[in-house]
Amino acid sequence: MPNTSTKRKAAVLVAGSWGTALAYVLACNHFEVVMWTRTEAQAKEISTQHHNEKYLPNRVLPPNITATTNMEEALNGAELTLFAAPSSAMRDVARAATPYVEANSIVVHATKGFEPESLKRMSVVLAEELGRPEAEIAVISGPSHAEEVILKLPTTVVVASQSVDVAEKAQEAFMNTAFRVYTNNDVIGIEISGALKNIIALAAGLINGLQLGDNAKAALLTRGLAEISRLGVAMGANPLTFIGLAGVGDLVVTATSQHSRNWRAGYMLADGTPLAVVLDRMGMVVEGVKTTRAAYELAQQYGIEMPITEQLYGVLFNDQPLDRSIEALMGRMKTNEMNS
């Protein structure tokens, strides 16, 4: 059915905390936003009660955000299509959406992670499923907790695409006085920094939980950024991206905020709570867990040293005691700061 409305429409797939917060930004910018969600109950809650209680408790959504479980209804006539699924679900969501994404719709994703088995970046997964050139896909990333975006607290992010036109159209759609959007063309760097900072945020939660002090936290962030950049550059990123909003900006906000699910998961792990119990208690996606495995494997593929990732991998997946990990990091061979 052709969309005869003159209002600009955006589709947001799916309705987790980040999809909902970005839907709110678009709604503030006068888009008619239709979210796609898996369950009728959530679609009804959003469309009729204007709440998404599980993912953004106590927040009222404006009436120009509705939700549906019908993919065609969500995507029909949308000039912008935003994918905000967890990385492990991106391919399935994209595959279900593919027949209905408008040919001229700007495609943006907001996901911070890699596809678990293939280790592919999200724009690669989307390009494969949607049958679009990678160059036409944009990623939105940067220091941005949904809990603050929904309160209209000042937030700055980056939209990256190899296509200047796509990046500028996405910038125009999202930007407002509470939500400042920069453009960038380094999709690889933006996607890698957004994914890998979650590993360091998990480790930061552990450091806080173990009360290892501010010196340790500062060292973690700095050396964390060094290993993120090393892998990123090996994968084709621009090194300068890592000192930008999606790099150091997002690393700081995720590793120092109690809003962060990754930080909170690390904090809970510090007292010995098993990973499965932590994830169950969180009830929301903690991308850093799967990303630790992905980065560990990518580091081996690219021959890159990532000592923090390696130690966290041991803690998460091989029951390595935390004190052994600290010893291993502090007892590494003497080296030059600029080497590794």
- Sites of contact with ligand NAD (CB under 6 A): 14-19, 38, 55, 84-87, 89, 92-93, 110-113, 144-146, 284-285, 287
User: Are 34 and 12 within 8 A, CB to CB?
Assistant: yes
Tokens of 340: 């590794």
The reply on whether position 208 binds ligand G3P by CB under 6 A is no
Ligand-binding annotation for 142, yes or no, is: yes
Residue that the structure tokens 């796509």 belong to: 166
Q: Which residues pair with 138 in a beta bridge?
A: 108
The reply on whether position 123 binds ligand G3P by CB under 6 A is no
Within a 13 Å sphere around the CA of 49, how many CA atoms are in the beta-carbon half? 11
Helix (H, G, I), strand (E, B) or coil at 320: coil
| Gap between the Cα atoms of 276 and 293, Å rounded | 15
- Residue 107, amino acid: V
CB of 58 to ligand NAD, least distance (A): 15
Within a 13 Å sphere around the CA of 295, how many CA atoms are in the beta-carbon half? 35
Ligand-binding annotation for 323, yes or no, is: no
| Gap between the Cα atoms of 154 and 161, Å rounded | 23
Say how many C-beta atoms besides its own lie within 10 A of residue 127's C-beta.
19
Ligand-binding annotation for 324, yes or no, is: no
CA 190 to the chain's CA centroid: 10
Catalytic entry in 9, 120, 169, 197: 197
Q: Which residues pair with 14 in a beta bridge?
A: none
Ligand-binding annotation for 157, yes or no, is: no
Tokens of 300: 């081996």
User: Within positions 254 to 273, which residues make up the interface with ligand G3P, using CB under 6 A?
Assistant: 254, 260-262
Active site residue 9: no
User: Within positions 282 to 301, which residues make up the interface with ligand G3P, using CB under 6 A?
Assistant: 287
The reply on whether position 253 binds ligand G3P by CB under 6 A is yes
The reply on whether position 155 binds ligand G3P by CB under 6 A is no
Nearer to ligand NAD, 287 or 322 (CB): 287
Nearer to ligand G3P, 66 or 144 (CB): 144
- Pairing of β 155-160 and β 137-141: antiparallel
Annotated binding-site residues for sn-glycerol 3-phosphate read 112, 142, 144, 197, 250, 260-262
**Which residues are known to be catalytic?**
197
Annotated binding-site residues for NADPH read 17-18, 38, 55, 112, 146, 261, 285, 287
Per CB under 6 A, residues contacting ligand G3P are 112, 143-145, 198, 201, 250, 253-254, 260-262, 287
Annotated binding-site residues read 17-18, 38, 55, 112, 142, 144, 146, 197, 250, 260-262, 285, 287
